[in-house]
Structure 1
């Protein structure tokens, strides 16, 4: 009887996530799993600067991208921080590892080059071990690709409401997205100019229609108001409160001797009595 060849069941890759509601993505293909924590989504540069990964899949390589990747089990479980920034129109791949990500390796050749360099640092006894740079960096994630390109059908069919007719929650969501994308772009472009001396965007002030916006880049969206109070207005209000308090609660200043020892008991008692009476 002829032998029947058994068919191999291919493992279908899965991305388990609620992104962008959460910043985590779990990728598994049945053989291996990677857990990603997205720090910066990044943006795709415009052609001809846009670069692609090597190999048959040719994934687009984002700029201003940062992710923390965890893989392995037990004692072999590791977490690294992967970053991609374009330098002189070419992607620079960096991986930070060790305690508090204090060590780093970088390369402008490919993500796999730097990934395997880090693997040798983490597992020096397993010299033959290899790892996919695409998977370690999460460059293949369709979740992030769609987020960068805004290609979801739902977003394509949405007719944007003018800002003057938007609810406060909608304005918050739009400004949060705008602030994150602008921050990523500034950091990516700043890396080209300042290198490792990272540029930090502290605050964004903008105007859309007749509404003014201010974003604190160290925290979440700080405020969305049509008229933001300035420092002089706050100082004026503080002065007004101080004057009103002084009128209601009079305060008398008393010159208190530094050394009571040089006064007689009678003089010291008299000074204390004056303090109790408000210096009168």
Structure 2
């Protein structure tokens, strides 16, 4: 069978070729090390990295991946992407030239998992923004000190159905963590919060 040039291959075909090459290298190295290292030496091939036509970069890891490290890395990437407001298309371009970066679909799946988990811990509620009375009832009178009247009126004027998270639920979630990290001081009974968005959703 004729082998197509890499430029004419789909990404899935290129990935299969990379895995096939990695398997051959892994098999050959077992014989190659015999003439280089002592028989008592344990030589382990952890990964290989190569490029095709100076464009497509591949990194193949051998052996099981540490799931804890993998999850930590994915969450760090999700945080960096969100804080930097990096679009999915831009991240795909970065991941295409940097083999050490997780694939975009893995990052997207981790973001969904984080969102689902947070939605379980801090519930999202719907509120009808067409009337102040309904808004006051939904938020609760004991939380009125957390709102700016001008912001509330602006929200009522421009929105129909909105969503919100209870400040109580947020505090119940973050206070134990802050206590564990010794951020809170018993001498200071005031907690200062800054609630902001990512520039796209607030």
Please report the TM-score for the alignment, with normalisation by the length of structure 2.
0.35
Q: Which is greater in Rg? A: 1
Structure with the bigger percentage of strand: 1
Please report the TM-score for the alignment, with normalisation by the length of structure 1.
0.26
Structure with the bigger percentage of helix: 2
